[in-house]
Each structure stands twice: as C-alpha cells, then as structure tokens.
A and B are shown apart, each in its own frame.
Chain A
Amino acid sequence: MGGLLSEELLSTIGRRSEPRREIVTRRDIRKYAVATGNRQRKYLDGDEAPPMFHVPLFWDVVELGQLTPDGVSIDSLLPKFPLEKAMAGGLNIEYHKPVYPGDWLTSTRTLTDIYEKQGRSGSLIFYEVVMDIVNDDGDLIIREKTTRILR
C-alpha cells in the first residue's frame, strides 16, 4: 500500500461529466484536416471526419476568466490529486462507426480508475478517463480511454 490515495479520493472513481452534444460541420472538418497536414481529399473537402476529429469536437470551451494563467482549462471531472506533475500519458481509441458532416454526437466522460504504483523515483498516481461518444440513435461511435500519470 502506498497510501497516497485517500478513501475520499478513491470515492471519486465513477464520477461522470454532463453529456455534451455537438454538431459535426464540413468547415470544422476541413480546418482540422488542414491543421494536421492531412493529404486525403475526402477529409480536406470535409466529406468525412478523419480519425481523432472528436478531439477538436469535444475540447472544452470555457470562458477566458476560467483559464489558468498558462491558458489551460481546469478539468472539473478530476479530483485534487496529492501529486500534480503530469508525465506522459497514453491514449486508446476505438472507432466503431464513421463520422460525417451533419452528425450530432454526444460525449460523456467518466473517471474510471485511480491507482498508485511505485516508480524509480517514488510514487506515481495513474488515473483513467473514458469518453464515450454516441450518435442520436444511441449507437457507440468512438470510445477513447486516456491514462495519465502524475508524479
């Protein structure tokens, strides 16, 4: 037992964000395809959304006063962790159905796990957030699991 994780902290596992519903537009797809240097016509023309288009679609939009001095929005899904320095994290994404302009998609984020491990230079805290994205029929379109490490 490392003991960094209090009962109170662990009780936040399962916490879920309010669902967010957004529309996919041709213009947003085109901007994203250009920004990422994509070379495929169907994406540059906005006929279909490329993989990872859900990243810009569901990035948090907050007001200026809610940003920290370094320009970051605070993730209200996360509890206050006893370690705060973020290290490399990992991403796992499953693509179940393609995404097209005109689609309405709804994302819900869940804090699915918090655990502690011993690293070379001390304790590390891992947490996992799963984002499920569904269409208006309730079909799963994309599932993304983010794992982050704090030291």
Chain B
Amino acid sequence: MTVNAERFAGLRVGEQLPGREHTPDNVQLMFYNAALWNGHRIHFDEPYAKNVEGYPGLVIAGPMLGDWLHQCVEEWLGEDGHIFSIDYSNRVATYIGDVLTAGGEIAALNVETMEVEIEVHIKNQSGDVVTPGKVVVRFADAG
C-alpha cells in the first residue's frame, strides 16, 4: 500500500482539520493587493472606505480568504495528496481588525477514486461563517 493509500484508509467522515486563526493587518493587505496589482481603494484608502463607501474599515480582499481555505486543507494534507477542486463564496465582508478562523471537516470519502470531500469555512470573531466552501482532495498517486 502506498503512503497515500495508507493515509486515506485512516480518514473518517467528521474528522476535523486543524483550525488556523488569521488576523490580517494593513501591511499584509497591502502586500496582497500589490501582488495582484489590485488598486481598489476599499483595500488601502481608509478615509475612502469609510466616508465614501460607508464601510467600518478597510475591506479584506475576498480571494485572500479563498486562499486561506486552500492553506487550511494543504497544511492538513501535507504531501499525501493534492487539491483537485474548490467551490467557495464570500458571503460576508471582513475588515482589518477582524479575527478570522479557517477550519474544515471531512464530509465524504470516495473509496474507489480515493477522493475526499471537505467542508471548509472561514468564521469571523462573532462565529459567523463569512466564507463557506467545499474542497475535493485526491489521494491517488499522480500519473
């Protein structure tokens, strides 16, 4: 049995992935938007975000939360498999100062394809799910 198959055989529906807390600050948000070349003012111009758009603070870019869903799964997975697909949506806006926690739980196992379906989420400090998603991981050896 390969390492991947051994790991897969030990998985159970309902198994929780380790959570991770994110507390993004202005520097991280600036780096993220600079990496994208995203000039949207709501992410770096605080007077604009508050006074013109009426937000309580600088808005965290939605795709960064999507990235954290991937990280949550990959840190749990290690090199034993790979993410094949993700579905997620940004449901609630998040802001600098929020405490955001990524987590997940195994929702389904497909023994034939060695695929695992994982429900993932980002929650804010109030416990609201701001970014729900579903990730499909493949444990089958590549090739």
Closest chain B CB from A55 CB (angstroms): 5
Range class of the A interface residue count: 20 to 34
CB pair A94–B85 under 8 Å, yes or no, is: yes
CB pair A91–B88 under 8 Å, yes or no, is: yes
**What are the interface flags for B95-130 relative to A under an 8 Å C-beta threshold, 1 for contact and 0 otherwise?**
000000000000000000000000000000000000
B26 at the interface (CB under 8 A from A): no
Per the CB 8 Å criterion, the residue count for chain B at the interface is: 37
A102 at the interface (CB under 8 A from B): no
* Chain B residues whose CB sits within 8 angstroms of the CB of A93 once the complex forms: 85-86
**What are the interface flags for A85-115 relative to B under an 8 Å C-beta threshold, 1 for contact and 0 otherwise?**
0001111111100100000000000000000
A34 at the interface (CB under 8 A from B): yes
CB pair B71–A35 under 8 Å, yes or no, is: no
Please choose the segment from A8-16, A66-74, A76-84, A129-137 that sits at the chain B interface, where 4 or more of its residues have CB less than 8 A away.
Answer: A66-74
Task: Determine the distance from Cα of A32 to Cα of B45 in the docked complex, in whole angstroms.
Answer: 21
CB pair B39–A36 under 8 Å, yes or no, is: no
CB pair A94–B84 under 8 Å, yes or no, is: yes
Task: Determine the distance from Cα of A66 to Cα of B75 in the docked complex, in whole angstroms.
Answer: 40
Q: Which of A34, A71, A89, A95 meets B31, CB within 8 Å?
A: A34
Apart from A56-B37, A98-B82, 14 more pairs, CB < 8 Å: A35-B31, A39-B71, A39-B75, A40-B75, A51-B70, A59-B37, A70-B40, A70-B53, A88-B90, A88-B91, A89-B90, A90-B88, A92-B87, A95-B83
